[in-house]
Amino acid sequence: MEIKTTQLRRCDLIALSGRFDSSAAPALDQALRASLDRGMFHIVVDMSGVEYFGSAAIRALVIAFKECRRWNRGDVRLAALPEKIRQVFDIAGITPLIKLYDDTVTAVGNF
Amino acid sequence: MSSELELCVASELRNLAAIADFVSEAAARAGLDDTQVFEVQMAADEACTNSMEHAYEGREDGRVQVCCFVEDNVFVVRVTDFGKPFEPETVPVPDITLPLEDRSVGGLGLFLMRRLVDEVQFSRDSTGGNQVTLRKRRRMGHT
């Protein structure tokens, strides 16, 4: 599992790769929180390298969505969501509520 | 796959990756397709997470047993732990029709488990362990 945050002018880009089960979820939560704590509420998560995303990781993401959207101050957007992870998001009923982009360039450009 | 495969690990979250590999390999050997392998390993991951986080309440000295076998045309994963009794009826069912802002964050693991496999069964075994049995029907022919 790997998490890499890049601070861009308009947003933070958090690139994830590998397996995000319950043992990895706290690190994801921390990375998202680090952006929020700096007052950055525009976040793009690059999901292209994600092999697995369990319920604990989904929870960490949902918490960040809620935080960012409070008072309309921002959003978390997902780029390059692998198909099998997208199916899990579909089951969890999350897909219709989030903005998905084919790639990070488009996701970042839309902020 | 004719015989039963078993893996026994300590209740540490870092062992979830080994469990996922074990279940994926057993499911592939049993003839499940890639999508089904992914779904059943995810259900097993959520079941083992429940054992570690809830039955053992985060204690890392417990035992989690994962057993895989085929019964008729069904791939079965049985997860056993010896932690405190698990009562699935007390877990809230998430309302996935609510807007994101109103979503509660609990109960998602159990909800996903029930959607990813054909049957989820909870029981207490004779030695006092919690057992979760996941059943996934093999898809025949092309998918």
Q: Do B45 and A59 touch (CB under 8 A)?
A: no
The pLDDT tens digits of the residues spanning B53-67 come to 999 999 999 999 999
| pLDDT tops 60 at residue B48 | yes
Report the run of H or E that residue B133 belongs to, with start and end: strand B130-137
| pLDDT tops 50 at residue B74 | yes
pTM of the model: 0.93
- The answer to which of A97-101, B21-25, B97-101 has the lowest mean pLDDT is B97-101
Q: How confident is the model at residue B104 (pLDDT cuts 50, 70, 90)?
A: confident
| pLDDT tops 60 at residue A10 | yes
Q: Quote the pLDDT of residue A45.
A: 98
Chain B interface mutation, best of A21, A78, A97, A99, highest count of B Cβ atoms under 10 Å: A21
Q: Reduced to 3 states, what is the DSSP secondary structure of residue A12? A: strand
Calculate mean pLDDT across residues A20-37: 98
Q: How confident is the model at residue B125 (pLDDT cuts 50, 70, 90)?
A: confident
Cα A99 to Cα B35: distance, rounded to the nearest angstrom: 25
Q: Enumerate the H helices of chain A as residue ranges.
A: 25-37, 55-69, 83-91, 104-109
AA identity, residue B118: D
Burial class of residue A72 in the structure, from the number of CB atoms within 10 Å of its CB (0-12 exposed, 13-18 middle, 19+ buried): exposed
Q: Please answer whether residues B29 and B1 qualify as being in contact, where contact means their C-beta atoms are separated by less than 8 angstroms.
A: yes
Return the structure tokens found at B100: 């994101």
Q: Quote the pLDDT of residue B141.
A: 58
Interface check for A27 against chain B (CB to CB < 8 A): the answer is: no
Nearest CA in chain A to B34: A84
The pLDDT tens digits of the residues spanning A45-76 come to 999 999 999 999 999 999 999 999 999 999 99
Size of interface A-B (CB pairs under 8 A): 65
Report the run of H or E that residue B122 belongs to, with start and end: strand B119-124
Residues 94-123, chain B, touching A (beta carbon < 8 A): 94, 96-97, 99-101, 103, 105, 108-109, 111-112, 115-116
Q: Quote the pLDDT of residue B49.
A: 97
Calculate mean pLDDT across residues B36-47: 98
The pLDDT tens digits of the residues spanning A68-106 come to 999 999 999 999 999 999 999 999 999 998 999 999 999
Calculate mean pLDDT across residues B111-124: 96
Q: Quote the pLDDT of residue A18.
A: 98
Q: Quote the pLDDT of residue B7.
A: 98
Q: What does residue B79 show for φ and ψ, rounded to 5 degrees?
A: -110, 125
Q: Quote the pLDDT of residue B2.
A: 58
Q: Quote the pLDDT of residue B96.
A: 83
Return the structure tokens found at B82: 């010896």
Q: Do A21 and B101 touch (CB under 8 A)?
A: no
Interface check for A67 against chain B (CB to CB < 8 A): the answer is: no
Q: Quote the pLDDT of residue B143.
A: 43
Q: How many CB atoms lie within 10 A of CB B97?
A: 9
